[in-house]
Amino acid sequence: MALPIKLLSTDFDGTLFAEFENPPVPVRLQEIIGNLQAQGTKWVINTGRDLSSLMEAIGRAHLSVKPDHLVLVEREIYSHEESQYVELADWNRDCHHAHAELFLRVREDVPRLMAWVNERFRATVYEDAYSPFCLIAEKNEHADVIHDYLNEYSETVPGLTVVRNDVYARFSHINYNKGTALHELARRLKISAEHTLAAGDHLNDLPMLMTRYAHYLVAPRNAVDRVKATVREQNGYVSHLSHGHGIADGIEFHLNGFTKI
């Protein structure tokens, strides 16, 4: 029987990887991914981390498997070629240009936005290479209020959106996210949504947790309520297990009756 999952897209932190566990990526999950790859499935880590941060975490986790592709900072695509990850140049170039043009419009408002946050909360607000406005809130309750405020602002700027993960947030272009990057990668690999599985746990995963991009959806027990609801509404699987254990459980659920892993 043909393998139903030809492309596996997993978030990293909180989904695949739990730093406080030993090992941080369950051996069973590594075995499942390795067996799928041996049968031709492509695996992409779809994360908000940048390349250096992800490589460091993968190295410390001592993974027995390597992702075939990466989606970094929720938008840039890389592929594993000859022992290194090489960027998808045209997609990443267009992505960079779109963000540069958008952020020219936003930059003049950043001081006002930073002042609003700093007057009300103890939070870290800064600029990095990927966004002129990045946030680390002190607690999730504060991040919720700030998120609402930033969403209201983003409605006044065409193309602007807020990417949120736990107490972290940053501005981004609405056309570039985990879902559109997954779609572009799948298009180039000639793999349809019907043969794609996506797994995630937090708000920044929502754009890829859609059946238009992935027929098979998985969320672990530790996923936030909105992610669990979104997955359930689309007949996806929410595991009773957390982090990587939940993802292994979800993959096995969707593959039940198709193949031995």
Q: Do 183 and 154 reside in the same domain of the chain? A: no
pLDDT given for residue 3 in this prediction: 83
pLDDT given for residue 2 in this prediction: 73
pLDDT given for residue 141 in this prediction: 96
pLDDT given for residue 97 in this prediction: 98
Left (φ > 0), alpha (ψ -120 to 50) or beta: where does 148 sit? alpha
Domain final position from 173, 201, 231? 173
Pairing relationship of beta strands 7-10 and 196-199 according to DSSP bridges: parallel
Q: Do 62 and 189 reside in the same domain of the chain? A: yes
Compute the mean pLDDT over every residue in the chain, rounded to the nearest whole number: 96
Any bridge partners for residue 198, and if so which?
9, 217
Q: Is residue 80 part of a domain?
A: no
CB pairs under 8 A, 24+ apart, for 216-220? 216/4, 216/5, 216/254, 218/246, 218/247, 218/250, 218/251, 218/253, 218/254, 219/246, 219/250, 220/14, 220/15, 220/244, 220/245, 220/246, 220/247, 220/250
DSSP-derived 3-state class of residue 139: coil
Q: How many CB atoms lie within 10 A of CB 260?
A: 5
Phi, psi of 86, deg, nearest 5: -110, 135
Domain final position from 149, 173, 197? 173
Cβ atoms 234, 17 nearer than 8 A: no
Q: Has this prediction a pTM greater than 0.85?
A: yes
pLDDT given for residue 256 in this prediction: 87
Domain that holds residue 20: 7-74+177-255
Q: Do 248 and 186 reside in the same domain of the chain? A: yes
pLDDT tens profile 35-71:
999 999 999 999 999 999 999 999 999 999 999 999 9
Cβ atoms 184, 144 nearer than 8 A: no
pLDDT given for residue 261 in this prediction: 53
Report which DSSP code applies to 131. E
Pairing relationship of beta strands 131-136 and 168-173 according to DSSP bridges: antiparallel
Residues in the chain with pLDDT < 70? 1, 257-261
